[in-house]
Every structure is written in structure tokens, then in C-alpha cells.
Amino acid sequence: MKPYTVKPAQGVRGEISVPGDKSISHRSIMLGSLARGTTTVRGLLRGEDNMSTLKAFQSMGIETVDDGETLTIHGKGLHGLTEPTDVIDCGNSGTTIRLISGLLAAQNFFSVLTGDQYLRKRPMKRVLQPLSLMGAIIHGRAGGDKAPLAIVGQKLKGISYASPVASAQVKSSLMLAGLYADGETRVMEPSVSRDHSERMFRHFGADVASIPGGVVVRSGNELEGREIVVPGDISSAAFFIVAALIVPGSELLIKGVGVNPTRTGIIDILTAMGGSIELLDCRELSGEPVADLLVRSSILKGIEIGGDVVPRAIDEFPVISVAAACAQGRTTIRDARELRVKETDRIAAMAANLRLAGGCIEETDDGMVIEGVERLNGCAAESRGDHRIAMSMLIAGLAANGPVTVDDTECIATSFPTFTALLEKVAC
């Protein structure tokens, strides 16, 4: 347990850079390992989730050198991984376990994947079921839905799969399997999820193409080592964007944030609520759009949120619920049932925590209804071991009328190890 307390702030001011994008960091380690030759990654997120991915590839014979600035990966080509001699521990990372399940299903060796107490409760059938259609042999607890997973690598065949959920993890897992499968692998999704895999596959020379509502991968191309620069994580920037909007007297510049349109739901939602967020100096890094964000405190208004914007902002709903609790009027969030199967049930966790802070919030099956209050209270909040819940409640503390203490903030290291240091830098 590592409690942390945030006191009400007079403003959130200055200039910061947030650490590298978690999704892009995972994919750069994976594709760098599968490519021939050297890949260099600058701006890699060194959070616990990404370190789980890095250790997984090291345990399969990949050599890496990290000088603190650049991670160098000595890739061994598509068929260069070796059988891990022990169980691979994916820690808290859904992205690690789901993506590498697709990759390992196609290797000529046996592997076992597990994770922490939270990851072992999360559903895996969403990837294992389509992988089994490709010919994968994967056993898991709870009828094949929960880790630990035992994977007996096989020759796979391409399939055409329409995923019932918009999930970049499902899509990417099948894309990785598709690098090895006979023929082509098509994945369709009900609305667009983050497309970092598509962009990075292309960057490394894989045969990948966008099709209406999805993506197609053909096996055959070797991947070639590349130089990658990872942009700042918009999911991490989101906490500071909301902080600057809800604390009066704020003006914050967040430099070098990834603004891939499949991730900018948070900007669209907060702008629709009346938030002042300017995109400055838009540019491109390794095939990903980047901008500096200038955020000024704003009077927010409640809105209706649902549909296609939801997967484009999926990790941001905990902090969006904080913004909604500080807005005028009612915010309704729909179509966000996926929040119930993240590190924790994020709908239940935010409803309980915001109520402790004097918020007026009702849970629905697939979202929440939040009535804004004039000012949140100080309170003792519970992270439930979920990094995004911990950070969201600390942001709520900046705008509350008394201190907010979060009971356990160790989990923040999952995605944003420098969070409290940056908070102390900009909160006045």
C-alpha cells in the first residue's frame, strides 16, 4: 500500500511532457523483436506493463540494450524466437497477454502465460476463440477464458473474423497470428479501435492493408529493423488535460502528445463539454501524428457520450467521469460496457469513489449518469489496484474543497511512473 494525498490547487500551470505511449511502446518491442536486424526505440514508456512485454521477449532469446534514452532491440526475424524455459509473467498488462497469445499460437514451441491477480480475472476468450478458428491450441482456466494460458504452437491458417467488440487487443492479436498464418487474415470490428498495430506493421514492412471496417494481413513478408520515436501518451496527458480544465486559473502546455485520430476521443468529448484545448505544432513521428496541447481552465457542461467515440477514449472514462462530476448539468455515458472488464470494473470503481467525494453518480449497465456538483469534497478514495482509478481520484483532489487521499498508488507505475512528480511540478 502506498497512500498519496492531493490538496486543492489554486491552478495547474506550466509546461510538461508526458511519457511515451503505452500501446505504441508495447508494439515497438514486439515488432522490433520479430524484425531482422536492429530496431532503436526512443521515448519508450518504461512503465511496468511495457517492462512485462520486454521481459517476455528477453525470455524468448531477444537481446536488448537500454541506455536510459534509447532501447536497442536485436531482432531475430519472424522465426527467431526460442522456447521460454519458464512461465511468462504478463503482470497487470492485458495488452501483453492478449497480443502475445496470437504470436505464440503460431510458434513451433510451447509456452505458458500468466499475470497478476487482476489480469487473471480478465476475459481471454475474446482472443482465444478466434485464434482457435485459425487452428491455435490454447488451454486456460475457467473453460479457456482465464490465465494462466498454456499455448501449444501450431501452423495456423488465415481467417476472416468479425469481432463483436471494438478492441485493438483482439485485432492486434489476430494480426500477429496473421503474420504466420497460411493465406490472409481479415479482422473486422463494429467501430474503429486504435490503429497503432496497422501503422507499425506498415512501418516494419509487413503486408497489411485497411479494408472497410477492418484490416487484412498477409503472411510472407519478413520485417526489417527500424528507428522508432514514441510520442507522448494521450491517455496519460488526459489526467493533466482534465486537471487544467477543472481547476480555475489554469493554463498548461503539454508537449509532444500523440494525436492519432483513433485515440483523440478525449479531446472531442472535453471540447464538446466546453473545454478549451488547442492543438499546436501538429507534426508526425514514426507514422503517428503528434501535437502540443494548450489547455486552459473552462466552465464544463454535461453532455451525452456514446457510440463510435467510446473506443477512441476507452481508457479515459475514469478521468472523464471526474470532469463530468465538476461540470454543470448531467453527463450520460453509454456503450461503455468494456469498462467493466479492465484492470477493475471501472464503472463501479468510479461510481463508488466519486460518491465518497460527494459526487452524484448512478451506474448503468453500460456506463453512468453523472450530475455535476458545485464542488467535490475531500475524501479517502480507493484505487482498487487500478492505475487509472488512482490517478483520476488524485486529479479530483485538485478541484475538491479538501484533500483527497488515495489508499494505494503503487499501481500508477503500471502506465505512468512519473505521474506524482509531474503533478507536484504543475499544481500550484
Binding site for ligand S3P (CB under 6 A): 23, 26, 95, 167-169, 172, 193-194, 314-315, 338
- Given the complex with ligand S3P, which of 28 and 167 has the nearer CB atom? 167
Task: Report residue 348 CA to chain centroid gap.
Answer: 19
Across 176-275, the runs of DSSP E, i.e. the strands, are: 184-188, 207-211, 214-218, 227-229, 251-258
388 binds, among ligand PEP, ligand S3P, none (CB under 5 to 8 A by kind): ligand PEP
- Which positions make up the binding site? 22-23, 27, 94, 122, 167, 169, 315, 342, 346, 388
Q: How far is the CB of 167 from ligand S3P (least distance, A)?
A: 3
Across 141-206, the runs of DSSP E, i.e. the strands, are: 146-152, 160-162, 184-188
167 binds, among ligand PEP, ligand S3P, none (CB under 5 to 8 A by kind): ligand S3P
Q: How far is the CB of 315 from ligand PEP (least distance, A)?
A: 4
**CB closest to ligand PEP, residue no:** 94
Q: How far apart are CA 416 and CA 427, in angstroms?
A: 17
- Given the complex with ligand S3P, which of 186 and 194 has the nearer CB atom? 194
- Given the complex with ligand S3P, which of 171 and 226 has the nearer CB atom? 171
185 binds, among ligand PEP, ligand S3P, none (CB under 5 to 8 A by kind): none
Tell me which H or E stretch contains 139: strand 137-140
Tell me which H or E stretch contains 37: strand 36-42
64 CB neighbour count, 10 Å cutoff: 18
Q: How far apart are CA 184 and CA 255, in angstroms?
A: 39
Mention every residue, 6+ apart, whose C-beta is less than 8 A from residue 137.
Answer: 105, 151, 152, 154
Kindly report the length of the chain.
Answer: 428
Residue 388, CA distances (Å) to 84, 299, 345 in order: 31, 24, 11
Interior angle at CA 294, CA 288 and CA 295, nearest 5: 120
Type of residue found at 14: G
195 binds, among ligand S3P, ligand PEP, none (CB under 5 to 8 A by kind): none
Q: How far is the CB of 198 from ligand S3P (least distance, A)?
A: 11
Q: How far is the CB of 160 from ligand PEP (least distance, A)?
A: 25
- Which positions make up the binding site for phosphoenolpyruvate? 22, 94, 122, 169, 346, 388
- Given the complex with ligand S3P, which of 168 and 396 has the nearer CB atom? 168
**For the chain, the helix, strand and coil percentages under 3-state DSSP, each to the nearest 5:** 35, 30, 35
Q: How far is the CB of 415 from ligand PEP (least distance, A)?
A: 5
- Given the complex with ligand S3P, which of 376 and 413 has the nearer CB atom? 413
154 binds, among ligand S3P, ligand PEP, none (CB under 5 to 8 A by kind): none
Tell me which H or E stretch contains 140: strand 137-140
- Which positions make up the binding site for 3-phosphoshikimate? 22-23, 27, 167, 169, 315, 342
Helix ranges, 35-89 (H)? 48-58
Q: How far is the CB of 300 from ligand S3P (least distance, A)?
A: 24
Paired strand residues for 419? none
Identify whether the C-beta of residue 340 lies closer than 8 Å to the C-beta of residue 347.
Answer: yes
Helix ranges, 278-414 (H)? 317-325, 346-356, 387-399
23 binds, among ligand PEP, ligand S3P, none (CB under 5 to 8 A by kind): ligand S3P
- Given the complex with ligand S3P, which of 94 and 372 has the nearer CB atom? 94
168 binds, among ligand PEP, ligand S3P, none (CB under 5 to 8 A by kind): ligand S3P
Question: Which residues are part of the catalytic machinery?
Answer: 315
Q: How far apart are CA 342 and CA 119, in angstroms?
A: 9
- Given the complex with ligand PEP, which of 181 and 396 has the nearer CB atom? 396
Burial class (CB in 10 A: 0-12, 13-18, 19+), 420: middle
Q: How far is the CB of 161 from ligand PEP (least distance, A)?
A: 20
Residues that bind ligand PEP (CB under 6 A): 49, 92-95, 315, 342-343, 388, 415
